[in-house]
A and B are shown apart, each in its own frame.
Chain A
Amino acid sequence: MDFTFTEQQRMMAGACRELLDDICSPGATRLAAEGRSDAGAERWARLSEIGVPGMLAPEAAGGLGLTDVDLVLIAEQTGRAALPEPLMEHAGVAVPLLAEFAGSPRAAGWLERAATGEARIAVGPECNPFVLGADRADALLMQHGDEVHLLERDAVTLVPEPSIDTLRSLVCVEWSPSAATRLTDGDRGRSAWSRAFERGALYAAAQCAGLAERMVALSVAYASDRTQFGKLIGSYQALKHHLANVQVTLEFARPVIYAAAARVATAGGRTAAMVSHAKLAAGDAADLAARNAMQVHGAMGYSWEVDLHFYMKRAWALAGTWGDRSFHARRVQSLVLSGAVALGPDMTFSRAGI
C-alpha cells in the first residue's frame, strides 16, 4: 500500500506545467480564443517533444509505455491551462484504444504515427454526440454500437457545431460504417468502448481538477489586488469562505481521481464506481470553482476582458462530456444500492465489484 506518486511522475508533471505556462498562458489562450494567433501546431509539437501523445502507447509502437497513473497528472495540467488541443482525447483515449488492435496493420500504422504526435486521432464514442478536434484530426475512431471503426478524415463529412468554449472545436461527423473501416465488434468491441469511456471520463475529471485550481488562483490574485471600502476584498471573510469551500471540494476530488487512474491502469475492480465518483467529484469542484470565482470577480468576472471565462467555459463543456452529472450519479447510485460495490470500512481497495 503506497498512495504516492514517484519522483519521476511528479517531475514529468512539473515539466508539463512549466511548458504549458510558457506556451499556453492565459495571454496565449486569449489570442487563440480571439483568433489572433494559431499556435496550435506549435503547442502540439512541443507537447509531442516531451512524449505526451504516446505516453500510453507501448514502447514497441514508439510510445513511452507508461500508465494512466502517469498521464492523469498531465491531464490535470492540460486542464489548468485550458489547452485548446484535444490532447487527452488523443493520448488518453484514442491511443490506448488503437493499441488494443496492434494485430491490425492499419491500426498499428496509425498507432505509431499517433504515438509520436505526427498524426492526430479524434474519437467519437456514442456518449458524445459531437467529436472534439475532428477538423484537425488525421483519422477518427468511431463507435457504431459495439463496433470500433477507424476512418481517415477524408472518409467523413464534418459539420461544425460551434461551442461557447471557442477553444474547443466540435463537429458533427457524418460517416458510414463498413467492413473496411471496422476494427472489431461484439464483446471485444463493447469492452474496448467501455475502457475508452472510463478513460475519457477519467481524463475529463482530471482536467476539471486543473481548471478548478486555475480558477481559484485567478480569484485569489484578483481578490488580493482589488480594493473596496478601503480594504483588499480578499480580506473579507465572505470571499475567503467562497474560495476555501472550492479548495475543500478540490482537495477531496484529487485522491479519487488518482485512485480511479490506478483502477483504470490495472483494470481493477470498482473501476466504474471510481471513475464516476471521480467525474462527479472533480466536476462538482470545477462547477463550484466557476460559480464562486465569478462571484469573487464581481462584474469583472462577467466581462470578456478578464481571463476567467476561458476556464469557466471549459469547465461547463467538460461537465457534459463523457457522461454528464446525472449519468455518473445514477451509475454510482445503482452500483452502491444494488450491492455491486461492497460497502464498509475494509472495502476501499477491494478488487471485487464493477
Chain B
Amino acid sequence: MAIDLTYTSAQQAFRQQVRTWMAANVPREPLESLETPAGAAQHREWERTLASGNWGMVTWPKEYGGRGCDLIEWLIFEEEYYRAQAPGRLNQNGIFLLGPTLMEFGTPEQKARFLPRMAAGQDIWAQAWSEPQAGSDLAALKATAIRDGDHYVLSGHKIWASRAVYADWAFGMFRTDPVSERHRGISFVLFPLDQPGVRVRGIPQIHGDTGFAEIFLEDARVPVANRLGEEGQGWHIAMATAGFERGLMLRSPARFQATAAKLVELYHRHSAEADPALGAQVAQAWMNTEAYALNTYMTASRIMAGGSIGVETSLNKIFWSEMDLAMHRAAMSLLGARAELKHVSRNGGDGDNWLEGFMFSLAGPIYAGTNEIQRNMIAERLLGMPR
C-alpha cells in the first residue's frame, strides 16, 4: 500500500504555523462585500496584511514573494485560510490565473516586474478576455493590438471583466494581426487600467453591487514588453490560463468544505421546523465537498509525482460549480421565509451571508467557460466523441 493519507510532521508544523498567523491576523468582523468600493478597499488592505506575513501566494518561489510551497502545503494553507474564515481574495485573478501563466510563459524581466507586486497586493488584476460578441465563442474576439514602433495600440471593447472597477491592471487577448481569424493572430497583452485610452464602466450585478465591468479601449498605448509570450501565441497561453482557472487553484476545496460545515450548523438550528428531506441534502453537500477535496489531493499528488492536468479541469469546473449551487440552494430552503432577507436585515441570513453566497454560486456554472462548453470539451477531448 503506497497511498498515504497522513500528513508528515513537517506538514503538520506548517499547518500550525498558518493557523497561528491566521488567528492573530484575520479580521474579527467580516469585511464588506469586495464588490463594493468600501469592501474592495478593505480587501486590498487584507491582501497587504497577508503579504506582510509572506502569505500572498505560498506556492511561488521566494524571489517572487512566495514561500516555495508544494501543492500539498498549498492545500493545507487553503484549509487553514478558510477554517479561519479569512476574507475572499480580491486578487484571485492575479494570483491564481495570471500568476501561473506568467510563471510558465513570462520572461525573467516580466516575472520580476509583475509577480512580487502581485503577491504583495500592490497590483490588483482583472481579466479582459470576453467581448460582447465573443463569450463562449472566445475565438470570435475582435479587439486589436496594432504594433506602432515599440508599442501596441489597443482598441476594442472588453466585457465581464471581474473586479475591473477596483483593479489596477488587466490581462487581455488582442488581435495583433487584424486580418487573422479564429485562434490565429491573437496575442496576450498586459495593460494598466489607469491610462489614457482606457475607460472602465462598471456593470451592476443581480445583487445590486458592481463587481464586473466593461473596458473600452480607444488607442491605449502599451509597450511591446507587456506582451506575454510570442506574438500570435495568445490563444495557446490563454488556454493554459483557462486550465488553471477551471483546474486546481481557482476554487480550492477548503472554501467549499467551510461552507458545508456552516450548512450543517444551519441545519441544526432549523432542524425542528425543516423538511427532513433537507437533512439528506445537507449530508450530500458534505459528501460532495469531501469528494472534491479528495479529488484535489489526488490531482495534487499526481502533479507532484511529475504528472500534469489537462481536460480533466473541465470535470472539476462542472463539479465545484454545481456543488456550490446545490449547497446554497439547501441553505436557502433551510432559511425558508427569511431566505429573501438581505444581510443588513435584522433577521437576515442567520449571521452568514447565505443570500450573497447563493447569488454568487449562480454565476459558477457560467464564468470560467460555461458548463455547457465544459461538457462539450469532456465529450470531445476526454471521451473522443465526434465534433
Question: What residues make up the interface of A, taking CB atoms closer than 8 Å to B?
Answer: 1-6, 9, 66-67, 69-70, 216, 220, 223-224, 232, 234-235, 237, 239-241, 243-245, 247-248, 251-256, 258-259, 261-263, 265-266, 268, 277, 280-281, 329, 332-333, 336-337, 343-349, 351
Contacts and interface: CB of A to CB of B under 8 A. Distances in A.
A346 B315 contact: no
B301 A247 contact: no
Counting chain B CB atoms within 10 Å of each CB, the highest count among A247, A256, A263 belongs to A247
A1 B4 CA distance: 5
A232 B379 CA distance: 14
Contacts of B2: 2, 4-6, 9, 69
Contact of A241 (B3, B82, B279, B375): B375
A354 B275 CA distance: 26
Contact of B384 (A224, A237, A337): A224
A241 B372 contact: yes
14 contacts: A1-B11, A4-B3, A4-B298, A232-B386, A241-B379, A252-B288, A263-B5, A268-B5, A329-B283, A337-B267, A337-B268, A337-B271, A337-B282, A348-B257
A35 B271 CA distance: 54
Contact of B387 (A1, A235, A329): A235
Given A240-B376, A255-B297, A349 B385 contact: no
Contacts of A235: 385-387
A252 B298 CA distance: 11
A251 B376 contact: no
Contact of B315 (A2, A251, A336, A337): A251
Contacts of A237: 372, 375-376
Interface stretch (B72-80, B96-104, B235-243): B72-80
A243 B11 contact: no
Contact of A332 (B1, B15, B287, B293): B287
Interface residues of B, number: 65
A237 B305 CA distance: 35
A296 to B, nearest CB: 10
Contact of A244 (B261, B290, B291, B379): B379
B1 A69 contact: yes
Contacts of B302: 3-4
B294 A256 contact: yes
B1 A1 contact: no
A66 B260 CA distance: 36
Interface of B: 1-8, 11, 15, 72, 76, 78-80, 82-83, 253-255, 257-258, 260-261, 264, 267-268, 271, 279-280, 282-284, 286-288, 290-295, 297-298, 300-302, 305, 312, 315, 318-319, 372, 374-376, 378-380, 382-387
Given A224-B384, A262-B3, A343 B291 contact: no
B384 A255 contact: no
Contacts of B315: 247-248, 251-252
Contact of A251 (B7, B78, B255, B295): B295
Contacts of A69: 1-3
Contact of B72 (A1, A266, A333, A351): A1
B319 A345 contact: no
Contacts of A245: 318, 375
Contacts of A346: 15, 76, 79-80, 83, 254
B372 A3 contact: no
Contacts of B258: 344-345
Contacts of A333: 279-280, 282-283
Contacts of B319: 248, 251-252
Contact of A336 (B7, B283, B293, B382): B283
B324 to A, nearest CB: 14
Contacts of B80: 345-346
Given A3-B5, A251-B315, A348-B290, 14 more contacts: A1-B11, A224-B384, A241-B372, A241-B376, A244-B374, A248-B319, A252-B295, A254-B295, A333-B280, A337-B267, A344-B258, A348-B257, A348-B294, A351-B6
A256 B254 contact: no
Given A235-B386, A337-B264, A349 B7 contact: yes
B298 A345 contact: no
Contact of A3 (B290, B294, B312): B294
Contacts of A268: 5
A333 B305 CA distance: 35
A245 to B, nearest CB: 7
A329 B286 CA distance: 12
Contacts of B374: 244
Contacts of B291: 252-253, 255-256, 277, 281
Contacts of A2: 2-4, 301, 305
Nearest to B75: A1
A332 B285 CA distance: 11
Instruction: Please name the 9 residue pairs, one residue from A and one from B, whose CB atoms are nearest each other, closest first.
Output: A240-B379, A345-B254, A255-B294, A244-B375, A333-B283, A244-B378, A345-B79, A343-B261, A6-B2
B276 to A, nearest CB: 10
Contacts of B298: 3-4, 254-255, 258
Contacts of B267: 337
Contacts of B300: 3
Given A4-B3, A224-B386, A348 B372 contact: no
Counting chain B CB atoms within 10 Å of each CB, the highest count among A67, A224, A244, A256 belongs to A244
A249 to B, nearest CB: 9
Nearest to A225: B386
B287 A281 contact: yes
Contacts of B8: 1
B385 A224 contact: yes
Contacts of B76: 346
Contacts of B280: 329, 333
B385 A345 contact: no
Contacts of B5: 1, 3, 259, 262-263, 268, 349
A226 to B, nearest CB: 11
Contacts of A345: 78-80, 82-83, 253-255, 257-258, 261, 293
Given A1-B11, A256-B291, A281-B291, A247 B378 contact: yes
B385 A344 contact: no
Counting chain B CB atoms within 10 Å of each CB, the highest count among A67, A69, A248 belongs to A248
B319 to A, nearest CB: 5
